[in-house]
Chains A and B, each alone.
Chain A
Amino acid sequence: MRKTQLALAAVALVASSVALAEVKVSGRVEMSAQNVSGPGDNATNNLAGYNLAGSEIKFTGDEDLGGGLKANFYLATGFDASRGRLGEGGESGQRVVTAATFAAGDTVAVNQESIFNRGAYVGLSGEFGSINLGRQYTLTTANYATGDVNGGNSNSVLHMVQSGMAQNFWADRAITYASPSFSGFSASAQWIDADRTNVTAAGQSAGRGSSYAVNYSSGDWSASYATMNNGCLNSGGTCWKSSVAGVNAAMGQWKFGVGSTSTNDNTGASTSYFHDAVNPFFRGKSNGWFGSANYTMDSLVLGVSYYTNKRAANTTNADLWALSARYSMSKQTTLFAQHNAAGKQADGAGFLSNYNGVAANAAQGANATFAGILHQF
């Protein structure tokens, strides 16, 4: 009897291994030393686990269903390697939000509560394209990097762009269709049925709405345009509309990118909300643009990025410079260093202090310098 049980267990183990054969475990671990300085003597030096792309672990896989049809899934969670804990804030990384910072009436749905805060979806793909259901990036988020050739940096211009874009990182309860490629062209559409209404600052997820994107990629250049409406399918309340466009091109060892963002809502006013207890960001009408360039010298890539955002209904602007260096040790291991300089405007200062723990104010900017290592597995 015992032998039979052991044999069955062995068979089950083998069967289980076969069933999981297509599952891939991958991710990255990142740590860096940072110096952050703000107004006055407000500065900090410490180790951080989130400055470049953030640490994460993901499970992906697909199953061949025959006839070119595949089932696939994606599960990813961010974690803070500096303390070995979960809840490293989705792709926004270090933006740890607490309930006390939310506006009255907002529902708390912060990323710390999520197991798979960096995406959880399942779907089908084939000649028709793909359709995925679950927690996914909004299509505007997914298309930021087109205009930023230094993309993949959560503590840089892209992060700022997303702040300007009213934090529409995630689409919960979403259905996304992506077309196949037609001679380099592709398009996507997304319907979002998030469980919260008009909340984007808190959990970085959109309200009920939809999102669309078109892309073209060929040879030495690519372009994309994405737009989304956030909360516009809710009955009443605020309806936000955001868009991002970008172009980038490669010229020998050089790469250049430029893009623009636009956000507007139906309130007719610039109403502030809060990322944290200190730093107000503003919603309402805003427009921004960003530019970037990098140069590859063998194993070293040097980059520069700039972002600025102007808000029509407010005198405060936001701007940020970032200088970066990446040094490849292998196809999986990269050493990095970067300096960020935020402008003296409230938004710019808030950008840095938002997640580095340094208080800032509207009169003075802030700087952050960090260097570290990232390993992919």
Chain B
Amino acid sequence: MKLISILAVIATGITACAGYAPTPDLAGQPRESIIRTLGSPEREYETNQGKTLHFPRGPHGRHTYFVYLDKSARVDGWEQVLTEERFKQVMPGMNQEQVIELIGISKITNGLARQRGYVWHYRYFNHQCKSFVIEFTPDDVVRSAGYITRGGRRCNYVGPGF
């Protein structure tokens, strides 16, 4: 027991140093500052306003942050995108890229039997242990999407399925 507790504390300290979420002092800072604080973005692309950087904290973390840079490559704002408001916008027929632009990439995936495609799981922070789940066709098109409420002792479970 003591060993596990000590390992948990050590691991917690190490990861906490890497930075989990944007902090208010990053507003207006250059791109390098956000990279230094949050690590390398999982995805970075140009928009009309500047750039968007994705920082998913999965599979274990329950947040994904989008950081917006203006045209001078300074932090213009950020957003935590794993929210039910955004999940509502995921519709059948959307392609994978549209999903990623909306809620970022999933860090928990599994394939489906009979080559029917694959599933993306989004753990997100809520008080009912709900996960958002998207089923894609083999052509990377959303077939269906919805919630799974694990609840109870499976609340901390990280993986596909029930």
Chain A residues near B (Cβ < 8 Å): 24, 26, 28, 52-53, 58, 60, 72, 74, 76, 91, 118-119, 123, 125, 129-130, 132, 137, 141-147, 149, 151-152, 158, 178, 180-181, 183-185, 215-225, 243, 245-248, 250, 255, 258-262, 287, 289, 294, 296, 298-299, 301, 326-331, 334-335, 374, 376
Contact = CB atoms under 8 A, between A and B. Distances in A.
Given A125-B127, A331-B119, A119 B11 contact: no
A215 B111 CA distance: 29
A359 B33 CA distance: 65
Nearest to B56: A219
A255 B114 CA distance: 25
A317 B158 CA distance: 30
Given A58-B151, A287-B1, A374 B162 contact: yes
Interface stretch (B24-32, B46-54, B70-78, B142-150): B142-150
Contacts of B155: 142, 145
Given A60-B128, A260-B3, 14 more contacts: A72-B127, A76-B151, A151-B157, A152-B150, A181-B62, A185-B16, A217-B62, A222-B156, A259-B4, A294-B159, A299-B111, A301-B110, A328-B161, A376-B162
Residue among B112, B127, B155 with the most chain A CB within 10 A? B127
Given A76-B151, A119-B151, A216 B127 contact: no
A330 B153 contact: no
A152 B161 contact: yes
Interface string B6-37: 01100110011011110000000000000000
A218 B57 contact: yes
A90 B1 CA distance: 28
A244 B162 CA distance: 23
A91 B160 contact: no
B110 A183 contact: no
Contacts, number: 192
Contacts of B61: 184, 217-219
Contacts of B128: 60, 72, 74
Contacts of A74: 128, 151
Interface string B125-149: 1011000011100000000101111
Interface of B: 1, 3-5, 7-8, 11-12, 15-16, 18-21, 57-63, 110-114, 116, 119, 125, 127-128, 133-135, 144, 146-162
27 contacts: A91-B153, A118-B151, A129-B127, A142-B152, A142-B153, A142-B155, A151-B153, A152-B150, A180-B125, A183-B19, A184-B20, A216-B8, A216-B12, A217-B156, A218-B61, A219-B60, A225-B8, A243-B1, A259-B4, A296-B160, A301-B160, A326-B160, A329-B113, A331-B135, A331-B148, A374-B162, A376-B162
B152 A119 contact: yes
Contact of A327 (B113, B125, B151): B113
Nearest to A298: B111
A328 B112 contact: yes
A334 B162 contact: yes
B159 A146 contact: no
Contacts of B125: 180-181
A218 B111 contact: no
Contacts of B160: 296, 301, 326, 328
A188 B8 CA distance: 17
Contact of B8 (A130, A180, A247): A247
Given A243-B1, A299-B113, A183 B21 contact: yes
B59 A183 contact: no
A53 B151 CA distance: 11
Nearest to A149: B159
B156 A215 contact: yes
A218 B20 contact: yes
A52 B161 CA distance: 11
A221 B162 contact: no
Contact of A223 (B11, B18, B133, B146): B11
A224 B11 CA distance: 11
A361 B5 CA distance: 35
Given A26-B147, A137-B153, A334 B161 contact: yes
Contacts of A130: 127
A336 to B, nearest CB: 9
A331 B60 contact: no
Contacts of B114: 329
Nearest to A257: B158
Given A145-B155, A223-B8, A247-B7, A26 B149 contact: yes
Nearest to A335: B113
A43 B128 CA distance: 40
